[in-house]
Chain A
């Protein structure tokens, strides 16, 4: 018996040695003038940001052509890789839910969650998903049904078959796959930080593979790419989103939707984001996420009842059966003939989700301490899929019903995709109230994105410190607003689209980074599981 104990003790110290690093969090940081920043990640990122912004302002058209060509090339050549990686991440996450490692608690046996289940769930949507659900829930399914821009597997539009194909394909893009991508990153960060005591920054997830080298240049590169993808993803979304919001305003209230309104939207969103940043997680992003969840639920219930309750259940049936029917054929990278749909929708979305994964993943990690891996992945994968099914069935289903029955603008197909939601709401009662509510939801989701983004970028650029001065988060939130406004005012849409294409192109290196992350995480979880087993032996 004592021999067994000795062996267990040896094995435990062997595993613990693997994660025993001399690196101290913040040791590479510069603390001056009230700042606490990592060198070289902060200065390098800042310099590259300025370089890219100035470059795209000086040559907006050629930057757009060049970066969009890069993005398209990546999406054409590596389509199979994006799709296969996405499938792999879903299987990986589902496997972790059922395997015994699911019992591991993030933060250790005794860790207690910081946030209630409801607030936690609300915050999952705050970072990256909320805005998309608002803008695409009507436009995407109606687009497939009306043959706007490619259809899934070339299913002919305006048919009963195309209804379930449209709903199924939309769910495919917003369901398990994106959340699995976010889940992999979030879980890796949470595990290596909360359980292994490594700094909360992307590089830490590679410690089992690279050892102490992650604190050197391989880590600097990974972290800097993550910062660039996040800030450009956020700033360009804010800029393009401001255009969408402005066109929404002009559609609804007859306000001129030109540059002035767009800049006012950016300034307004950034100002509220700054207040939210200064109020911290509890008083800022959590509060706004909870509010947004309540308003989103109100809007959802309204659309379900105002459309038609019977119609909603029919559509929910179509969504679920469509998802089940189409998930496998749409996940197949071989012999695809629906080129427009495959590349312009699926692969674009996959590159997009992956390029956003460091941002969304880290924010989810930050708020998930104290959950077991099983709880965590169930909440990050299954719950959003259920919620999104209901949401898409209500909004997209209603939109398709209107298009099929020749009601309103949607019957003529998608003209301006950003207006689809409002066009659908126009033909339900209480339009002015619901449209106003919808536009408020969109704006607040922009605020929570900006706020959570600042939190994430600050954590990466201060070497994993989360208690660095709030001034730094204020700096990053302001930077997003300034970049968006300057790009819009000087370079117009071309500059924004150029940098957005650049951000989405980061999806390629990050696909490889994410696959390596899965390997690294598997190693980490295997070690943790063995630690638990040996500790049980010792306790007996």
Chain B
């Protein structure tokens, strides 16, 4: 039914992704398809890595760890952005086409006061609205 599952990851907050990662892996196993982890990063150092090149190394390592942990085929893609906070949603949308995914499994934050006030936008909601592939939002 599906050919590839894409999972957007924020390597700074992997602990919050656990459920989404597990869900994606189990789906991947049952359809026997690969999981592709996509992360968006800029040129400025962040907590994960001091440069985009080293970030890519970290992401590769993460993908291999996931493969070992769940026994699924994994790949990854690091997307460059000059302004991650703003471009995240659009870069992820582009990545769906680039990696050829037809299912996106992603974690969502728990809606709180900030959402009610429209202070922060939901990445998952944006993806659902603007992509034509299936999106599974894991809470």
Contact = CB atoms under 8 A, between A and B. Distances in A.
Contact of B120 (A197, A279, A471, A473): A471
Interface in A242-296: 278-283
B14 interface: no
Interface in B78-123: 82-88, 112-114, 119-120
A240 to B, nearest CB: 30
Contact of A115 (B82, B114, B119): B82
Quick one: which of B12, B83, B120 has the most chain A CB within 10 A?
Answer: B83
Interface stretch (B17-25, B40-48, B68-76, B124-132): B40-48
B53 to A, nearest CB: 7
A194 B45 CA distance: 7
Contacts of A196: 50
A467 B84 contact: yes
A193 B44 contact: yes
A278 B118 CA distance: 14
Contacts of A473: 85
B83 A281 contact: yes
A437 B23 CA distance: 57
A469 B120 contact: yes
B47 A194 contact: no
A155 B50 CA distance: 54
Given A33-B112, A278-B86, A114 B50 contact: no
A282 B85 contact: no
Interface of B (DSSP majority class): loop
A279 B53 contact: no
A470 B87 CA distance: 10
B134 interface: no
B51 interface: yes
B50 A366 contact: no
Interface string B51-80: 101100000000000000000000000000
A183 interface: no
Contacts of B113: 33
Interface in A180-204: 193-194, 196-200
A37 B87 CA distance: 20
Contact of A110 (B53, B85, B112, B119): B53
A529 to B, nearest CB: 19
Contact of B86 (A33, A108, A114, A279): A279
Contacts of B87: 280, 282
Contacts of A218: none
Given A33-B114, A467-B85, 14 more contacts: A26-B12, A26-B46, A33-B113, A34-B120, A111-B43, A198-B45, A279-B86, A281-B83, A281-B86, A282-B82, A369-B43, A467-B88, A471-B119, A471-B120
21 contacts: A26-B46, A33-B114, A34-B112, A107-B43, A193-B45, A194-B44, A196-B50, A199-B45, A200-B45, A278-B86, A280-B83, A280-B86, A280-B87, A281-B82, A370-B43, A465-B46, A466-B83, A466-B85, A467-B42, A469-B120, A470-B86
